[in-house]
Each structure stands twice: as structure tokens, then as C-alpha cells.
Structure 1
């Protein structure tokens, strides 16, 4: 019989997309804020900061998009493989597959007679869909879309990266770093809250973890930028 590590249903998949979008935006905020703050530690030239920020934004967004495409493509290939195996098993041993489906519904709480009748009716209607849903937790008509995942990652990272980039470019030279840090902290607190809300995790811990991680990243890159700027100067 085919065995497959189950994943979420359609509703769960939507939650995972939302969670991935929040995490993508979070990565955009941290990486871009750290980059531009580090460059600002080395130079006050707005053009150099903007070029570095834009380069980091597109490099990060494209990297996330390509990584997500490869990851989701691998998942889609795995789903197609187990569905193909399930089709073969349904052709070659339909009775065993029917019994397996019956046992699944018995384990969910149905009595033997009811489970057998449910398995028969579902098999008669669409055997592959019945086994894919009950045994594999896959909807054959709703396989993961690698292009959708890649585009969503690109957009979420870009949105997250634009805020610290706008903050540092639109601020005066003396306020660039503090304004960018404050903007990043506020948005990191928001993404931490949203990610905790979506996953059901403790909100305060998620917010603190997000903010502290971002502050450390910005502090380290700013320090490196300042040291490099002084050594060059």
C-alpha cells in the first residue's frame, strides 16, 4: 500500500501560504535593513546606499523565489509519484485497496459496516480521489504550484524590503540609521505578531525573537560598515 507523509488540506495550505508570505516579508525587512544600515555605517552617500539596497532587494527576492520554486517543485514531483503509485495499486489490487480505505474510516470512528459502505461508495465515485484524500492527504486537483510559490515569495520579500529602503533614503543623513532601525523594529514586531497568530504560538515570544534578531543583525552590519568605512577613509 502507498504511504505518504501527510500534509495540510486546502485550508491548511492557505494558512501555509500566508505564513510563508509573512516570513518572506520578514526576511526582506531584516536583510535589507541590515544591508542599508551597514552601508550607511561606511558612507553617507545616498546614491551608494540606494544602489546597495536595490541590489540586495532584487538579489534576495530572486533567491527566495528560486529556492521556493525548487522546493515546491520537489514536493509536487513527490505528490505526482505517490499518486501514480496509488493508481497502479488500485488497478492491480482493488480489493486490498478497498479494505485499506475501510480500515482508515474505522480508525476515524466509524463502525465496520458503515466504514465498508462509505469505502465502497467513495471508491465507486472516484477511487483515486478517495484514497488520495484519506490515505495520502492530497487533492489530485489541487497539487502545489511552484510558480505561484515563487511569485508569492518574490512579492512578499520585495514588500518587506521596500520599507527599510524607503526609510533610509527619505531620511536626512543624521537620522537615516535611527529612522531605519525604528521602522524595521516596528514592522518586525508586526510580522512576529502575525506569524504567531497564524501558527498559534505565543505572541510575545515571537515578537521579541523577531525584534531582537533584527536588532542584532542591524547592529553587526552597522559595526562592520563603520569599521570598513574608517579603514578605507
Structure 2
């Protein structure tokens, strides 16, 4: 262990709060966007491929799915994170006002929080006073609200991450089904999508410190179910139209 690690009390490979919430939000938006792009676009192009072998029809449907899906993901993520950010801003503004208008009461309140965490009254008071002197808003926001004022998620960043991730994920099934010969396009596309979903599931578990096997399994099973279902529907409709 290095001197810096000993001084900070942190160990290599451990998840720590500073910056971790932001990392998880980016991870959530990116993985959700990529998975949605892979699965939804694969479902569309395989559904069309089940109804027709016309490459132009598959291309039009696939491109439409990519563009509409990317815009939908970006808009949805922006609205979701904006709502969360508005709530956090309102809570922080209320805390600022309370710190200005009744600092003694807020100090007592912060002391009470640390007493509840197991510190004795005198030590809790010392900790509260030192944290208040250093960063009163940050100390109260973290303990009372679970918010880091310096680590608020940007709605624009989340929206852009979702849009890019969706587009990158969607290009895999679209390009695969367009470039592979007619007789192999469906099984090859399903195989490529299955592999991609295994990778995104493993990556999400690795970066989020979760169980890798379960993350991979649920991604793959969900994607396979969607692909088989849409291909079956497309095939059934193709014989009727």
C-alpha cells in the first residue's frame, strides 16, 4: 500500500463515494443506451428480415430505428436527469438558506447526525465544527441529503452519453444484417448480437462491481427472447401480406 493510500484510508480496487455516483450515472446511461440500441435495432431488422429478403427494406427500417431510438434515448435521459438535478438543486438551496439563517441550529443538527452514527457527543461536536469550517454546505449535504454538491450529474452529458451509446450499439446488428449474405444474415446477426450483449453485460458488472455471470446471462437471455419473438412475428406477417 502506498503512503497516499495509507493517508487516505483507501485501498486499490475499492469503490469510494467521491466521483463514484457520477461514474455510476455515466455507466447506467451508457450501458442502458448500448443495450437498448443493440436489442431494439436487432429486433427491428430481424423482424423485417423475417418478412422479406429485400435489403433496401431492411436498411430503411434499420436506419429509422437507429435515428428514432437515439433521439428517444437522449430526450428521455435528459428529462430524467433534469428532474433529478432540479430536485437536488432545490434541496441544496434550502440547505444554503438554513446555514445562513440559523447556523447554530444547523451545527447542532450535524452534531446529532454524527452522534447517531456512533461518535460520542464531544467528538461529534469537534467533527461537525471542523467540517463546517472547511465546507459547511458539503458537510450537511452529504450527511443529511446524500448529495455531493461537486458531483451533480449533468443532463446534457447523460443525454449525449445515451445517444452515442445507443447509436454505437445499434450499428452492430444493422451493419451485420446488411453485409452478410441472405442465407446467413439471421443466424450471424443473432450470434453477433448475443456476443455483444455478453460483452456489455460483463462490462457493466466489472465497472459497477457486480456479479459478472448474472449480468451476462440476463443480457443475453433478454436479447435472445426479443430477437426470436420479433423474427417470429415478422415471419408470420410476411406469409400473410
* TM-score, length basis structure 2: 0.87
Q: What is aligned with 1:110?
A: 119
- Specify the SS of the correspondent of 1:174: helix
CA–CA separation in structure 2 for the residues paired with 1:60 and 1:72: 18
Separation in 1 of the partners of 2:148 and 2:218?
36
Aligned twin of 1:178: 187
Can you list the C-alpha shifts for 1:169-218, whole angstroms capped at 9, x where unaligned? Answer: 11011111111000001111111222233344432232222212111111
**Deviant stretches of 4+, over 6 Å:** none
Query: Over the residues paired in the alignment, what is the CA RMSD in angstroms?
Result: 1.7
> How many aligned residue pairs are there?
225
Cα deviations across residues 123-168 of structure 1 (Å, max 9, x unaligned)? Answer: 2333222211222222223322100000000011111111111110
Extract unaligned runs of 5+ from structure 2.
Answer: 1-16
Deviation string, structure 1 residues 88-122 (Cα, Å, up to 9, x no partner): 22223221110111122233443322221221222
Question: 1:53 corresponds to which residue?
Answer: 62
The residue aligned with 1:191 is: 200
Worse overlay, 154-163 or 120-129: 120-129
Match in the other structure for 1:33: 42
Unpaired segments ≥5 residues, structure 1: 1-7
Match of 2:177 in 1: 168
Equivalence for 2:145? 136
The equivalent residue for 1:64 is 73
- Decide which moves more: 45-54 or 138-147: 138-147
Counterpart of 1:213 (choices 219, 222, 227) is 222
Taking structure 1 as the reference length, the TM-score comes to 0.90
